Structure 1
C-alpha cells in the first residue's frame, strides 16, 4: 500500500505561495529561504512580488521544507516513505528541520541499499540526532535493505503500477495530503524553543510594529510588561525586518521553552500629552511624536 501512496504522491502538483509568505505581507521582508533552497531557479522575486515558474519547478519540495512559515503549498515529490521509514536517495540532502519533523510524524528510520550513507547525509543525520537527544527523543536509525527485500519491492512495484494508474485517474491530485503549517517546526515541539528573540532596550521605542507583523504572536503587551514567547518563534525575521530602530535580534537557542518579560514604564508625552509605555526612564515623547517629521503639524 505504501508504494501506491508513493506513486500517487509523485504526480505533479504545482506549488503555490500563499498569503502567509513574508514577501507578500510587507516590502521590508528580507526572507530568501525558498530561493536559497531551490536548485532550479524556479522562484522569481522582485521588490514587490514573488512567484514560482511552474515550467522550471519539478516539485522537489525543497522550498516548502525551507520556508519558516510553511507558506508554500504543494507535494514533496522527491521523498519516498515506507510506513515509518524514509528511503535514502542521493539526489537530495535532507534538512535538519525536516528530519526533526519526520521524527514527530512517526518516521524513525532511514533505509538504504548500502551503509554508510554519503557524507552529506550522515552529517545531517548526526546533527539531527544530537538535537533529538536535547529534545529527549530517541535517535533516527539507519537500516540496510536486504537483497531479497529489494527484489521483492521492485517486483511488487511492477505488478502494482498497471492497476494503480486507473485508480489514480479517479482521485484528486496529490494535494489531498496537504496540511496547514506542515513544515513549521514549532507545531511539533511545543515544549521547546528553537530560537530566542532579544530586544535592545536602548534602541526600542515601543512603536509595536513587531507586534502587528509577527504572525506567530511571539510578542504580547501585558500589564506594564512585554512578554516574549520564544517557543513560538520560527526565525522568519519579520519582526527584525519591520523594526525601524533595528532593536530586535533572533538567536538560535534550543532549550526548554522559556518566555521573557520586559518591564515597562508609563510616561506622558510632552508633545501630544498622551500616555505611552517606554523602556526609557527619561523618554519624553511617545513613538508617534518621536518619529514625526518636525515640519509636519503637531496634533
Structure 2
C-alpha cells in the first residue's frame, strides 16, 4: 500500500494510492499520516476501507504532493553506509554505524523547491532509502525483531552542504540541517509492497545526467541491523525517519563535478518507491 499526503504545505490531505492508480481520500479515517496514525495501526484501517470501496476518490491533477509523514519527531541519518561511497570520499569503511541527526523541519515534499543556503559553495545531493518507524523501538533484542517496528519506506534526498559539514567545524549537523534539506516521498510504501529492501536500485540525476546508480545490497549495515542498533542508544518512535546512507556518485566524491547551483534540477528514484524531482534556488 502506498500512503501519501496531497495539498498545500500545512494543509495536506491524507490519501492512499489504489492499485488502479487512482488516489483516495482517507481523511475520514485519520486527520493526518503521522506518528499517532502509525502507532494505532491506522494503515490496516486504510487497507480494509480501500478493499471495501469505502474511500472517496481525489483528483490529484495540479495538486502538490507533500512529505508522506507529517511532523517526524526526528530524522536519524547513517553516514558512509555504502562501501563505494566511503571509498570515493577517502574514508574507511565503518565498523560501526556512523550516526548523526538532521533537523526534522528539513523534511519537505518530494517535488518542493530546495533552497541553497546563503554562503554555500558546496551543496550536494544524496539519494537514500528512508525507513519510517511504526512502533516504538527501545533496546530491541536482535535485528530479527526490528522489521516489526517499521511502518514502511520512502525515498529521501539527504541534501548536504559539504563546507558546513566538513570544513567549518566537523559538526555534520551544520551541513545537514539547512532549510528544505530533506525532500521525502512521494509515498510511504508499506513493507508488504516494498518487497526486499536489501536489493533495491537507487538512482539520481542532475540536469538529466546520471550521478548515482547504486543498490541497497551494497549497504554496510542493513535495515534490520540499523533499527536494532539505534534502539540501543535512543527510543525510536512512530513517525521517526531513518536515512540509511547513499551510494557513490555525490559531488564530494567526484573531483571536477560542480556542486548544485540555482536552477539545477535533481531527479531521484528507488525501485518500487517512486520518483522525486526538485529544482534548486538560492535562499
- Please report the TM-score for the alignment, with normalisation by the length of structure 1: 0.24
Which structure is higher in RCO with an 8 Å CA cutoff and minimum separation 6? 2
TM-score for both structures, normalised by structure 2: 0.25
More strand by share: 2
Larger radius of gyration: 1
